[in-house]
Amino acid sequence: MLQLRKRPTPLGWSAPLVFVTAVVLSLAVSALLLRLQGQPAWEGLAVFFQSGFGSTWALEDTLNKAVPLFLCSLGVAVAFKLQIWNIGAEGQFALGAVGATWAALYFSFLPWFFLLPLMLLSATIAGGIWGLIPALLKLYMRANEIITTLMLNYIGILILEFLVYGSWKDRASFGFPMTPVFESGAVIARIGRTNLHYGLLLCLAIGLAMALVLAYTRFGYELKASGENPRAGRYAHIPYKKLVILVLVISGALAGWAGFVETSATLNRLQPSVMAGYGYTAIVVAWLARLNPLGIALFSFLLAGMLVGVEGMQLELQIPAAFGKIMEGLILLTVLSGQFFRNYRFARR
């Protein structure tokens, strides 16, 4: 008879092993699902890895998709550190895209070295406001942020649609909901001869800055202390209200940056397809990375590769793109369950 035993100390060195097992398990379930749908499972997985990570072109595509994922996820992680469940990156992303597009359309005469910073600024403000609203609702109305941020996702996406179907619609687009193509000054350039764009450098800069802030500043310390034990934080006179506002505004602003980068560098215009679900995948990334900036970089890359891989499967095997969501959900569930074995083990009675 097997019995559960609590480990005297949490599992150390073999934790990655548990993690890998969990991921392999979720891949196996995904493959099984393909098989049940009458799709070739092994070929499916081969196409998946090949198109996600298998060539220079694939890696470039994966890196480009990792950019918005990293920005959203970094923001989400800062909020999660304080145990603030910001599920609203998707809406904050939408508002950032709207903010950046506003600047791109109305200040299109500016040269790039004025226009791009202006777009970044208005994306920061728009995304930041979308983070500020749930913060204020939480602090002054005690409204649960999971629900308010989620509702604001739907509203944010509808604002974006309202604009691209309405006053921002390109007259030359044959009725399709999209803005005119941005002037070249509003487009983030490619790096050299690669397909990568300078949004990648933005990620490196903010990622490094955030890692340093979290590790070495008072803000980072307060976040850690208050997040791990809110009551202890209060006794230590850590200004909880200020932290909640700060954290949600930063979170919103970073997701807003992602919206800016996607509209400017990837689409060169605003259209509803900019909403690719990065805001939700970012939650998965943040959690898998245990809120650590370096881990977020790694997992943004891996999950971006997964998204690209699923796109490949869609092109070659006509597998619906929703397969990516299934994989995300499965990985999250198996890794979550796997954590149990860090603290418990089975033993013979």
Site string for another protein, 26-65 (x = CB under 8 A): -------x---x----------------------------
Instruction: Kindly tell me which of 94 and 105 has the beta carbon lying closer to another protein.
Output: 94
Side-chain half-sphere exposure of 318, counting CA atoms within 13 A: 3
Residue with tokens 């406001």: 129
Exposure of 131 by Cβ count < 10 A (0-12 exposed, 13-18 middle, 19+ buried)? buried
Site string for another protein, 161-200 (x = CB under 8 A): xx--xx----------------------------------
Q: Which of 17, 158, 201, 215 binds another protein (CB under 8 A)?
A: 158
| H helix intervals, 54-197 | 56-81, 89-106, 112-141, 145-165
DSSP state letter for 190: B
Reference 124, options 249, 277, 267, 266; nearest CA is 249
Q: Which of 148, 179, 264, 271 binds another protein (CB under 8 A)?
A: 148
- Restricting to residues 276-305, which ones interact with another protein according to CB under 8 A? 280, 283-284, 287
Asked whether the beta carbons of 185 and 105 are under 8 A apart, the reply is no
Is the CA virtual torsion 52, 199, 56, 291 positive or negative? Answer: negative
CB of 300 to another protein, least distance (A): 17
Q: What is the CA radius of gyration of the chain?
A: 21
Instruction: Kindly tell me which of 265 and 291 has the beta carbon lying closer to another protein.
Output: 291
107 in contact with another protein (CB under 8 A): no
- Is residue 344 left, alpha or beta, with left meaning phi > 0 and alpha meaning psi from -120 to 50? beta
Partnered with residue 4 across adjacent β-strands are 346
CB of 151 to another protein, least distance (A): 4
Q: How many CB atoms lie within 10 A of CB 269?
A: 22
Q: Which of 23, 63, 74, 87 binds another protein (CB under 8 A)?
A: 87
339 in contact with another protein (CB under 8 A): yes
Using DSSP's 3-state secondary structure scheme, residue 276 falls into coil
142 in contact with another protein (CB under 8 A): yes
Q: Which stretch binds another protein (CB under 8 A): 10-18, 150-158, 243-251, 261-269?
A: 150-158
CB of 154 to another protein, least distance (A): 4
337 in contact with another protein (CB under 8 A): yes
Interatomic CA distance for residues 309 and 114, integer angstroms: 37
Q: Which residues bind another protein (CB under 8 A)?
A: 4-6, 33, 37, 85, 87, 137, 141-144, 146-148, 150-152, 154-155, 158-159, 161-162, 165-166, 280, 283-284, 287, 320, 322-330, 332-333, 336-340, 343-344
